[in-house]
Structure 1
């Protein structure tokens, strides 16, 4: 897809329409599609930075940048591609853009993520390495992964 626009905004900068668009899609993917009832909108959204690929104002792919729960590392999560746009390498594109944003805004800071373990090789292709055993988070196997400079 060629006419995609990269949009980066803090929660405070989002319009109400953008916030609703993000929350609807996150709920669709992480609660409905993955059959995982949990508190999808959380306190980390208060200070998050949202990285979006948009097609004429419509959300196509998304990530949320946050401070890692360890309080030391930067992190990102809620990585999604809208169903109608899947199969076009947009997951790879949004993750690459997110890493680029993190490198620009927090130079030298390690990036630590809680990846679904089935995506270990995907994140490994960006240079992330496992730093934990597999554990259950909301009944989904996860693994902590770290990307250093």
Structure 2
């Protein structure tokens, strides 16, 4: 297993395509999220990619600064054929560790899909809002307790 952290300008064109393809399959096709999920935050994000020994993208998320005091992560995914292997846990553990090393004094907050509330709680995230609708999918803001 390879765990990679890359800024957008460090991604090869194939890696960028692979990320956007997987995000489109998960968020637009599977979850029927009708918004364009590629945005300007991709340009400033650090992209966390996990690959297996066959070099397949098996888990992904992006991390970026919101402002001088806050950082977030999102677009968390595991392609369908790699689900159920505990990759989400590995992904989040590595993301939180990287954020703590690179931005130790920043608050980490996320916009989590509500159905994943307990998953994020298991990493120390706590609710920071009421449930809200984001293009037909229930979400909740959460903050990592330090």
Q: What are the equivalent positions in structure 2 for 1:1-149 lying under 5 Å apart?
A: 4-55=1-52, 56-68=54-66, 72-149=69-146
Deviations 1:109-149 (A, max 9, x none): 22100000111111001000001001111121100000132
Conserved 8 A contact 1:53-1:60:
yes
Conserved 8 A contact 1:109-1:148:
no
User: Residues of 1 paired with 2:107 and 2:55: CA distance?
Assistant: 32
Conserved 8 A contact 1:113-1:146:
yes
Deviations 1:54-84 (A, max 9, x none): 013220000100223x663100000001111
TM-score w.r.t. length of structure 1: 0.93
Q: Which runs of 5+ in 1 are unaligned?
A: none
User: Residues of 2 paired with 1:73 and 1:81: CA distance?
Assistant: 25
Conserved 8 A contact 2:69-2:105:
no
Deviations 1:67-109 (A, max 9, x none): 23x6631000000011111101101110111111111110132
TM-score w.r.t. length of structure 2: 0.95
- Runs of at least 4 residues off by over 4 Å: none
